[in-house]
Amino acid sequence: MASSMLFKIALISCLAVATAHKKAAPPAGSSGSTNSTGSNIFDVTKYSASTSASASANSKAFLEAFKAACTVKGRPTFLVPIGTYQLGPVTFEGPCQGTHITFEIQGTLVAPPDVKSIPGNAWVEFDSLHEMVLQGGGVFDGQGQSTWPLPSHNKPISIRLMKCVIGRISNITSKNSKFFHMSLHHAEGIIIENLKIVAPGHSKNTDGIHISGSSNITLNNIDISTGDDCISIGPGTNNVIVAGVKCGPGHGLSIGSLGKYKGEEDVGNIHVKNCTLTGTTNGVRIKTWPGAPPSEAFNITFEDVTMTNVSYPIIIDQKYCPNGECTTHAPSLVKLRDIRFSRIRGTSNTPVAVKLACSDKEPCQNVKLQDISLKPLTSAVDEISSFCTNVHGAVSGIQNPDPCLGPHPGNSSNSDSSSAPSPAPTDD
């Protein structure tokens, strides 16, 4: 009887211990990582981030929350709740344990105004992440006003993606960056949509989105007003779609600049469509530096683009020389080929509306103008014309102004019969 009672007591004790261990065990797939809510949501305020904390304290809290999220094998969410947070430089560096991480930025992140407080190349960087999502309706405020008059070197990008593969960025705002608002470098398979990017027209070097060394990138439905290129596509970039971008003020939609450095990789398969430009200093543009070493840019299409009060709505400039920075006047060796401008319409505020100024050494090949319908902005110019030099191609459909391209050019200027037009506005 006594032994039976002892057996029952021992059995009950074992069950109690087992139950306690079961309750204490981490969820399957969590690798032992937990947060204060016991879920896969990692709220930065649970790691001491606060709307009243310093930029350095919040940076530390953000990184602690990210490191915890990065150890989860499931689908963690890094959460910044509504509120305004001072934030110093942070790098969210992978790879993470899971295959997917969401950055839910609901609040406003404010950078230190002093550029010396951000010694690296970026304020907020996402590095080597797979299947990342950045969303939430939040704001990245770069506080760049004091840096805009300074030289462009040693100024940080607001948001930079480095070596990120497969991801989506949507429903965020970037304002007043110190340098580029957003940059993609060695990224692949990224979709960026429904963004707002804003800075005043005098904010120097504040490109909206700059892409380099990346492939399979889609930009869709983005509203950009800034002091430099709304979109700039740099060396080593392939397979990019730019659609539904509203640009202005700014310097337009640009391929380049290309050829500033030796060993640059080619650019190809770029498709820009259904965009609107208003009050920009250039329209759709390809730009290469004089004396540029050999490389190629090919299979580039600009179509269904509407211009309002735009300078140089269509421009190829292979003597691109912003602010007199060129060290040589030798011809560019960047080969431009298979380029199409189709259904470009609107108003030009410069006498030259179509400028195709290609390299003396490597003339542009297979450039096509199809259904170009540009008119002078009568408050600025009485009439508009085209200018071509060192370019081979063809025209079809409506052509206004008269084309300088093709076997039977109209009354517009060309390199053999008239002087070159005034240079396009310079920028960086």
251 is catalytic: yes
Cα angle at 28 between 26 and 32, to 5 degrees?
Answer: 40
Catalytic residue among 100, 210, 251, 392: 251
CA distance 214 to 257: 15
- The answer to whether residues 124 and 156 touch, using CB atoms and an 8 Å cutoff, is no
Peptide linkage before 149 cis (omega within 30 of 0):
no
Tell me how crowded residue 274 is: count the other CB atoms within 10 A of its CB: 15
Which active-site residues does the annotation give? Answer: 251
